[in-house]
Amino acid sequence: MRVFMIVTALFLVLFLTLIYWLLAFPISAWFVVHVSCPRRLRRFPGEPAFPVNLIVPCRGSNSYLERNLRAFASQDYPRYRATFVTNTKEDEANAVIASVAHGNPHVRQLVAGVSEACANKVYAQIVAVQSEPRSEVFLFGDSDMRPEANWIREMVRPFLDPRVSVTTSHRWITPDARGFAPSLYTILCGYSCVGLASPFLALVWGGAFGIRRTAYADMGIADLWSTTASDDIALSNRMAERRIRPCYVSRGVSASRECHRSLRAMMKWYNRQSLTAKLHHFHNWLAGLAIETLVSLAWAGSLVLLVVEAAAGSLEYHALAAPAIMVCIMASSLITKLTYPERRDIPLWQWALVTLIAHFIVAASLWYSAFQSSMTWGSFTYTVGRDGKVIRVDTMSSTASASDKPEENP
């Protein structure tokens, strides 16, 4: 009897813990987006006018690139320079950048070169910062986003508070294709967005963040980035060391039409995200691995138990765990979506149902990354040491790189 009570108590603790983690992140993110951020804006009602160096690393080209870059190049902000930077003169993005830059005084084109010590995107950002170091704010954006005209203004507005050193935001996928992979990609990016907003995490996303010039220098970001494959996690770690939290900008979340159309491409992207987390933010990766493994095992195990007991005609109270976990997973996903209800993406029923499978895929990806030590990004493979520093960079063959390119969406 005592053993049964102990097992039951442990089951209840595990069950309540899973429910807490499934619901705490999206609920807290909803509160930040709809309560905390508007309240902060009311405290600093002025208009920012900081000189901004907007840096957008580019690689390759597609049907969306020109419209995305024109959105960056036509911002409603008085004092900014948009630096569109590639690593090589042969990059297909250069022709698009030249077209956007023609006749636009806000835009300049830069070719950074390549590095054998860090990821080339990171190196491009270092060079772009060095090319115009007098701006008061360095603002970074991913080329697959299409920001609103007030994006710069909203991203730098929190700097009206002198205590803010770094701002960050995210993207929201509005997929250009239908199917399981695009829906899964939309949901995973949605979870990433609200996770960034949640006060439980103090992370920066590399696709949308700003940093004061003084903070960039004081924290030694140029040296830090010079040996890393991940700009955002390296910056997040340095900020954690200094007890600095980023300011999440809910109005800076930008639309992105690009999505992975196949499960293979989607998994390749997510495997890289998982490996990046393991190599640069091990404790968060380990927590994610534990939570996603527990959610997957609890969901699958309780479902099997429900089916077995139903088939035997002897349902017990613990069989209710399966529908309870299912409801919590679906509720977590729907709250995630309701954090940004105005975004047009996928139907609500897909948010609810695809998420039931997503946890298994995330757990599998995290376990896969546990046995990897190198990541492929574009035509380069980076081997990273336990300290998060790049120890070797290998170049893929042109054939391998070309076949890999359509599946890449950093």
Tens of pLDDT, residues 64-88: 999 999 999 999 999 999 999 999 9
CA distance readout (Å), 159 to 3, 164, 326: 57, 6, 42
The pLDDT value given to residue 396: 64
131: tokens are 């090319």
Residue 354 pLDDT exceeds 50: yes
How far apart are alpha carbons 121 and 394 in whole angstroms?
Answer: 15
Sequence-distant (6+) residues with CB within 8 A of 267 are 361, 365
Q: Tens of pLDDT along 32-45? A: 898 888 888 777 77
List, in order of start, the domains of the chain with CATH numbers.
11-20+284-405 (no CATH), 32-260 (3.90.550.10)
Residue 400 pLDDT exceeds 60: no
Residue 347's pLDDT band (boundaries 50, 70, 90)? Answer: very high
Residue 299's pLDDT band (boundaries 50, 70, 90)? Answer: confident
Residue 166 pLDDT exceeds 90: yes
Q: Tell me the sheet residues that pair with 299.
A: none
Lowest mean pLDDT among 46-60, 91-105, 129-143, 274-288: 274-288
The pLDDT value given to residue 355: 92
User: What Rg value do the Cα atoms of the chain yield, rounded?
Assistant: 22
Closest CA to 68 of 346, 258, 259, 342: 258
Residue 162's CB is within 10 A of a number of other CB atoms, namely 7
Average pLDDT over residues 179-208: 91
Residue 23's pLDDT band (boundaries 50, 70, 90)? Answer: confident
Q: What is the largest CA-CA distance in the chain?
A: 81
Coil, strand or helix at 240: helix
Residue 378 pLDDT exceeds 70: no
Whether residue 221 contacts residue 138, with contact meaning beta carbons closer than 8 Å, is answered with: no
Residue 205's pLDDT band (boundaries 50, 70, 90)? Answer: very high
Whether residue 139 contacts residue 152, with contact meaning beta carbons closer than 8 Å, is answered with: yes
The pLDDT value given to residue 405: 38
The pLDDT value given to residue 3: 58
Whether residue 276 contacts residue 376, with contact meaning beta carbons closer than 8 Å, is answered with: no
Tokens 């630096």, located at residue: 83
Whether residue 50 contacts residue 136, with contact meaning beta carbons closer than 8 Å, is answered with: yes
Residue 383 pLDDT exceeds 80: no
